[in-house]
Amino acid sequence: MKSRLFALLLLLLPAVALAAPDAPQAGVDYVEIPDGKPFAPLAGKVEVVEVFGYTCVHCAHLEPTLAQWKRRQPAHVRFTAVPAAFGGYWLPYARAYYAAESLGVLERTHAQVFKALHEQQLLPIQNASADEIADYYASLGVDRQRFIDALRNPALEARLQRSREFMAAAGVEGTPTLIVNGRYRVIGGRNFDEALRIVDQLVARERAAARR
C-alpha cells in the first residue's frame, strides 16, 4: 500500500511543480535584512519601497512598469517611494521629491521629472540648482515660491536623514532597489517584470505570516 501511494506521489510531483511558481530563494532573488523594519509601518499593510533617484536612468526605465504594477495592487499593499540621498548630484532631486510631496503635487510631477531629465533634457543631471529645478516645477503648474520655500524647510533635512538611515540599514548601494516590508531586499530578476514578480511573492509571504 505504501509503495503504491509513493508511486502515485511521484506521478503527481511534476504537475505540482508546474502549477506553483518557484518560490524566491534567499541569496538568489533577495537578501534578508537583519532586524529590518518598514520605512513607514502601518498596521495591516505590507510595504513595498522603491529606493530611487530621478537622475538614475534605470529608475526612469522602471517607472512605467512600476506605475502599472501599482495599479494592480490590493488594498493590503502600500507602495512607498524613498529618494536616494547619496549626496552629490542625487541630493537636489531628492530634495525636490520631498518638496513636491509636501505640496501634494507628486501625482502630476513625478513621472514628468524623469522625462525632463532622460528624454527631454529640460533639466541637468549634474549640478542642478534650486532655481533651475523650481523653474521646471513652475512649468508644471506648481507655485514657484511655495516650491522654493518647501525646499528650504528645515523639516526636509530630517526627511533626507531618515532616507539615509533606512538605506544604510537595508544595505542599499544603488538604484532602483526594491524592499519588501523592510525585511527583504530584492536582488534577482532578469528584467523589471521578474523583479516585481519576486516582490509579489515576498508580499504574499509577509501577508501569510501576518495572518498566523
Query: What is the Cβ-side half-sphere exposure of residue 195, based on CA atoms within 13 angstroms?
Result: 18
At 59-79, the pLDDT tens digits run: 999 999 999 999 999 999 999
At 121-168, the pLDDT tens digits run: 999 999 999 999 999 999 999 999 999 999 999 999 999 999 999 999
CATH superfamily of the domain spanning 25-211 = Glutaredoxin (3.40.30.10)
pTM of the predicted protein model: 0.89
Nearest to 39 by CA among 141, 168, 127, 131: 168
Spell out the residues 6+ positions from residue 186 whose beta carbon is closer than 8 angstroms to its own. 29, 30, 177, 178, 179, 180, 195, 198, 199, 202
Question: Amino acid identity, residue 8?
Answer: L
User: Does residue 24 have a cis peptide bond before it, meaning omega lies within 30 degrees of 0?
Assistant: no
